[in-house]
A and B are shown apart, each in its own frame.
Chain A
Amino acid sequence: MAEPRTRIAFRGGGFVLGNRRWAPWIAFVIIIAGWEAASLSGLLPALFMPAPHEVIAALRDLVNSGKLGNHIGASLYRVLVGWALGTSCGLVAGFAMGVFSMARAAGLPVVAALFPIPKIALLPLLILWFGIGEPSKVATIALGVFFPTVVSTFSAVDAVPRNLIRMAQSFGLGMPDILRKVVWPGALPGILAGFRISSSIALILLVSAEMIGTQVGIGAFILGAGNLMQTDQLVAGVVLLSILGLAISFLLSLAEKTLLRWR
């Protein structure tokens, strides 16, 4: 009798994420087409959700009104200044906490206590301190960005392999050199990952920051549209915010690609 002969079947498939560049576009198209269809058929009443073509019309009106640049310019200024301010302070504090045990012991409980406070709850205080002009808006964003930056910087510094620091010490590098040449580049991946979170938070807080005392800015535009129940404009504003978020995410990816080529 012949020995049974079995062909080996491949069983290692799946679980490997391939590159599907077109997939996100298809997903977008399907979602928007389905949405438009639901709106046109009356399944999705205009009262509750505007149709995509109405949103596009609202966006076109915004472009034609010439105010789009003002809104985006004002918001970009607030986000960039607030984010830069919160990030630079957060980096310094996070670095100090990652490197000095005194700063860590003192800083950790403070951060733990203040991080979860919704910054929006502090808005009245921020208005008292900084007024209703630009400073309070920038401060809201800066404050929201500061704490996650501290946490991500601190963990990133903490995660720099100790053996690299010991190596640098064994070659006689001083503290400033070690921070600059070992700790900073070693912590950079974690810090850039933190930037993704903090930039999203900055955009989220933009709407809160622009609640007070302004009619210009994407957040103010969204809030105004919400107050007036102009849902098409509201969704148009949200679309703008999403585009801003995608642009920032793209820039960060670019930064990661250039700065972290070594990974």
Chain B
Amino acid sequence: MVPCPRAEDGRESITIIGDGTADGVRSILTELRQKLIALGMMSEQRGTVEIVLAEALNNIIEHAYAPQEPGPLQLHADLKPDWLEIELRDRGRPFPGLGLPHPILPDSSGPVRTLPEGGFGWYLIHNLTDRVSYHRVADENHLYLGFMINRS
């Protein structure tokens, strides 16, 4: 992690690089959590950010990268007075059709044996963020996640 010096306009930025593996995701989330605690972000908002990032990063390691060829993950976070802006970059495959998946909640109304065991990720991401966008830039995926924040 490379914490930048506190800027005069109240912005902070954080860059974390990790491996595109489940353990790599965990360590990125743990580092970011520590940093957001240090910056005084409230617990509920840290929880929101952590859930969204877990889903977005897991999506990268499960779908953008091939399981046998994990690549790097890069997280850049800008904490502004009212917004937390996070950009995730990877060098994996682009999203199909170069667009974000639709946030559809899997149906859990049927009997136990038919209950969904996955497919919740994009629903959670869309529900818990205030802005989401995606750009394919050269051979990289750039996923932008924005959160409005209330500071205590």
* A and B co-occur in one complex: no
Binding site for B on A (CB under 8 A): none
Binding site for A on B (CB under 8 A): none
